[in-house]
Structure 1
């Protein structure tokens, strides 16, 4: 059995536009986010039970959950006993991406080499008679 924790509290389900309109999330992931957000904090559940509430099935649920995890909207922790068996799990759902390695506010080097370096596009091609070559 798992437990869901949310990092936002409302009396009805609200979904930020940043999630609803995020083109990097599939419709499946957005729908799963909406369903999980509609549940109360500390909701006790089983993944199999969640899968029963949609026609897509367990594999589609798992794919959507993995997508939410990769984009930082969901973190899942599993608690195991001394035999290595999963005994409990916790899912943390957030309306802003959570990452283990936050972006740095300051550059890593004290004196960066160049601030606005010009990048070269190595994929530009130039036709030389019948051959293409990279510039």
Structure 2
């Protein structure tokens, strides 16, 4: 865990939150309201810390759904070392910048939405070769 605490990408808030979560037994359920009782941080601060930990691969959050697909709750996987998300092979595009006409291609649909700095991106090559 010492390596985790030395990860300079983590804020002190995120390090403390991760340390607290890792100190609990496996299978422990974390509830936001309950967590605020053991810290001076508020709900928004804890959410921000969790988001940072998720972004860096220390926390994975996923929905638990009923038979009809309605979300019943959220589960967390906590990792001492950053995890690679095998189910997420695409970059995080939460707020993508929309640029125009930066790709040299005849596919005008692609030019409207995405700009790449190079054409050696295998996804783009596959897209350009299969869409037509």
Q: What band does the TM-score fall into relative to the shorter chain?
A: 0.5 to 0.7
Matches within 5 A, 1:112-123: none
Which residue pairs with 1:70 in the alignment? 55
Larger Rg: 1
Tell me if structure 1 keeps the 8 A contact 2:60–2:76.
Answer: yes
Flag structure 2 segments of 5+ consecutive residues without an equivalent: 88-132
- Alpha-carbon separation, structure 2, partners of 1:64 and 1:94: 14
Could you state the TM-score of these two structures normalised by the residue count of structure 1? 0.58
- Alpha-carbon separation, structure 2, partners of 1:44 and 1:24: 26
Aligned equivalent of 2:80, options 73, 89, 95:
95
- Alpha-carbon separation, structure 1, partners of 2:85 and 2:11: 23
The higher relative CO (CA closer than 8 Å, separation ≥ 6) is in 1
Number of residue equivalences:
86
- Alpha-carbon separation, structure 1, partners of 2:52 and 2:12: 11
Flag structure 1 segments of 5+ consecutive residues without an equivalent: 1-15, 103-135
Distance of aligned partners of 1:83 and 1:17 in 2 relative to their CA distance in 1, 3 Å threshold = closer
More strand by share: 1
Could you state the TM-score of these two structures normalised by the residue count of structure 2? 0.59
**Runs of 4+ residues over 4 Å off in structure 1:** none
Q: Secondary structure at the match of 2:76?
A: strand
Structure 2 residue 31 is matched with structure 1 residue 46 = yes
Q: Secondary structure at the match of 1:45?
A: coil
